A and B are shown apart, each in its own frame.
Chain A
Amino acid sequence: MSYTVAACAAVGAVVLLDFAVLGTRLLGRRIFWTAYGIVLLFQLIVNGVLTGRGVVRYDAGAIIGVRFVHAPVEDLFFGFALVTATLVLWVWAGRRGVDRRGSEHRSSASGGGAQRSRKSTREDRGEGAGRTRRDP
């Protein structure tokens, strides 16, 4: 399978992961596309350096030949799939309450559990700066 085919397949797989498998539907949200736009900017710099300086070299037969800031256009799909898959899993794990220590969040019927949930909501929105003092 050429890099071109693999890269397109990876993008398709990530879209399926987001919409069909995990149902996170992150690709439908502006927070994702804003974050991805920023990541893309840095990806172009990083990829541009790595391919422009020849740290990574490609077999001309494996790529379609279109290049963007030194890198084969396939790298954009590769990067999109890599970053999007990670963010989809991050959001999915957040929805499952992974960062709230196992079974604690499941006891939401008790007052303590609900309080913890409320605190987690604030943290999820990035407003938990006050608690960073307790971090190791």
Chain B
Amino acid sequence: MIRLTYLAVLAGCLLLTLPLDRVLGLRVLARWRRLVLAVLPVAAVFGAWDGYAVARGQWWYDTGQTVGIALPHRIPLEEALFFLVVPTCSVIGFEAVRACTGWSCGDERATQRSRRSRK
């Protein structure tokens, strides 16, 4: 059971945030192209950093608390999932704040510009 510690933490993150996508109508998962563009490059860089740090012995994982599937550079599967799950949850959280407050973040400008040019 303890081998599921890390996986359970990730599942908890998803259980808390994924419902928001539907309940608040955020459409983050529906806009998957944009999500992939935001998440994958960052995950690649931080995954490489992780591999570098593990190779240098700066940190390591307790194999007794992970399911035991190892990726190259002795990175557990959960760590790779972390770089996909946490950023995705962050985007959902960001969009939830926008939905609740109506505050802008700068990506509305392109559509407003095209509206002006039509007049």
Interface residues, chain A, with chain B CB atoms under 8 Å away: 2-3, 6, 10, 24-26, 29-32, 34-35, 38-39, 42-43, 46, 49-50, 53-59, 62-63, 78-79, 81-83, 85-87, 89-99, 105, 108-109, 111, 113-114, 117-118, 120-121, 123-132, 135
Closest beta carbon of chain A to B82's beta carbon, Å:
9
What's the dominant secondary structure at chain B's contact region?
helix
Residues of B within 8 A of A25 (CB): 106
Q: Would you call B90 and A35 a contact (CB within 8 A)?
A: yes
What's the dominant secondary structure at chain A's contact region?
helix
> Does chain A have a CB within 8 A of B26?
yes
Q: Which 6 A-B pairs have the closest CB atoms?
A: A129-B25, A126-B99, A94-B107, A108-B114, A62-B58, A90-B38
Interface Cβ pair total, 8 Å cutoff: 195
Interface residues of B in 8-39 (CB under 8 A from A): 9, 12-13, 16, 22, 24-27, 30-31, 33-35, 37-39
Interface residues, chain B, with chain A CB atoms under 8 Å away: 5-6, 9, 12-13, 16, 22, 24-27, 30-31, 33-35, 37-39, 41-42, 45-46, 49, 53, 56-62, 65-66, 83, 86-87, 89-91, 93-112, 114-115, 117-118
